[in-house]
Chains A and B, each alone.
Chain A
Amino acid sequence: MTARIVLVEDELHIIEALSFILSREGFDVDTFTTGVGLVEKLQDAPPNLVVLDYMLPDISGLQILNEIRATEALKTLPVLMLTAKGQAKDREAAETAGVSRFMTKPFSNAEIIDVTKEMCRND
């Protein structure tokens, strides 16, 4: 069965590029540019992986992660956090909130493809 990935990122060109390369690798990619109401959508149809940007225009990726982990049905959902802020305190905050993996921008296509495959395999 095709693994489904939810990509939450406000930079449209990153969405376009990542959607293209991940779809080419056989993943089914759903994209969102904002975070409000996302958790409800994830609950309705849990994906195999959420790729979540740390900084979104409406609510932060960290808040979304907290909501995901507070939702019984999504407690173990793999979440890959993307951030342009590689500072230790952001990483610590995400780890405390229960992030599965953390990736600092900029990264190569090969890196994100490898991590995505690995995380979907473990799912």
Chain B
Amino acid sequence: MARTLVGTRIREGRRAKGFTQSALASHVGISASYLNLIEHNRRGIAGKTLAALAEALELPMRDLAEGADQTLLDRLKEAAQSEPAVKSELLKLEELVGRFPGWARLIKRLQDRIDAHSDELTALSDQLNRDPFFSEAMHLMLSNITALRSTVEILTGSEDVPDDAAQRFMENLQFQVVRLSEIAQELQMHFETQSRSIASNEDSAPNETFWEARAFFDFNIESGASIPDVTDPKLTRDLELYSKVATQISASEIQILAPKYGFDPLAIATETKTALPMVFRRLAHLPHSEGFPEFGLMVCDQSGGVLFRKPLPQLALPRRSGGCPLWPIYRASQRPDQPICARMVMPSGEEVLTFSVAHFDGPVEFDLPPRMMLSMLYTPQNPTVLPNIDHSRLPLIEVGAQCSICPRTACPARRDAFILG
């Protein structure tokens, strides 16, 4: 297509310079009728004549010969996919870019902004769905409203309610109304706190947007391309680790190992001679859309400070620190390099299978403890992950997300009160 439209670009270039056909033709030493045929793409052009025309029009010969920036063209093609009416005009895309480069760049910029906003909205919506506080508060509110509705219907729907029962229902009603307003206040405070935290947490938000936009899987990195140029050092480190493990163990290798080992991280680590925390990273960066089980991952330092997080709807992870102290990841630090496999049951009844390990990372120095990294990989209960192990024999730990939003009020590990209790 580019070759056939060289003429169009020459015509646009000539008009932009204010030359007539005969003036330009005479300048480069060809006839006006021949230039006319070239401009209407009826004659091919290359070599000296093209070079002369490029020089006369003060345009780089490459731009004239190859047309517009391919990235711009590709981006506009992507934008056109969302608008059926424009699809039929795709053949004229290069002409559009050639004739109206400013408008074309504006369309690209607007499309970039639309996509960025759309990604942001998706990320926010996912965040809301995963928010354990929101989920718990909604559950309480709906239960509360059910009790209220039923009680009001009893009191207003009939006259055969005995006095003592009516008195009790009136008291229940009062209690429920107060409770409902308390939950509403807690919700409001929660969202206000979250808004402030999002506003002040600029270092973690771009990372999450980056990974969520790719569903934690990057085809280019998997294909051996160098990691994208990002400004955040934390994201750069995560990308380097991802790139390293993707080179060590490809996604297709995991697929090949699956019939024998399932997705057992320890078996994969042994088979591929890869460190277990790196296998955790590998499994967390697999395309769930292609049939791989979905894995969540949390990596933190010994103080519990979160360094990497890939949350799943079954278990939300803290942004900075302060997860449930019963999670096996925190226990892993007691015996570095000793992996722990355990099932965790959430207050909602949802169960996840977890693998945790602690390992030393970084240089060793005199009189300074080495840096220890803790990793926890987890996945919704799924027999295909560990096909060679009887899951019912794995320890089952009753846990929560964070104390303040955990309804297990009798938990001995509790450090904060349940705010909806």
Q: Give A residues with C-beta under 8 Å from B.
A: 11, 13-14, 16-18, 20-21, 24, 54-57, 59-63, 84-85, 105-110
Contacts and interface: CB of A to CB of B under 8 A. Distances in A.
A20 B150 CA distance: 10
B147 A17 contact: yes
Interface residues of B, number: 30
A17 B145 contact: no
Nearest to B140: A84
B180 to A, nearest CB: 11
Interface string B171-199: 01001100000000000000000000000
A107 B142 CA distance: 10
18 contacts: A11-B143, A11-B147, A17-B147, A17-B150, A17-B154, A20-B154, A21-B154, A56-B349, A60-B350, A84-B138, A105-B142, A105-B145, A106-B145, A107-B149, A108-B149, A109-B150, A109-B154, A110-B153
Main secondary structure of the interface of B (DSSP, over half): helix
A64 B141 CA distance: 24
B169 interface: yes
Contact of B150 (A18, A57, A84, A85): A18
A55 B348 contact: yes
B60 interface: no
Contacts of A108: 149-150, 153
Contacts of A21: 150, 154
Contacts of A110: 153
A107 B139 contact: no
Contacts of A20: 154, 165, 169
Given A13-B176, A17-B151, A105 B146 contact: yes
A20 B151 CA distance: 10
Interface of B: 135, 138-147, 149-151, 153-154, 157, 160, 165, 168-169, 172, 175-176, 347-350, 407-408
Given A60-B348, A63-B349, A13 B145 contact: no
Nearest to B150: A17
Contacts of A17: 147, 150-151, 154, 169, 172
Nearest to A35: B349
A13 B154 contact: no
Contacts of A54: 349
Given A105-B142, A105-B143, A13 B165 contact: no
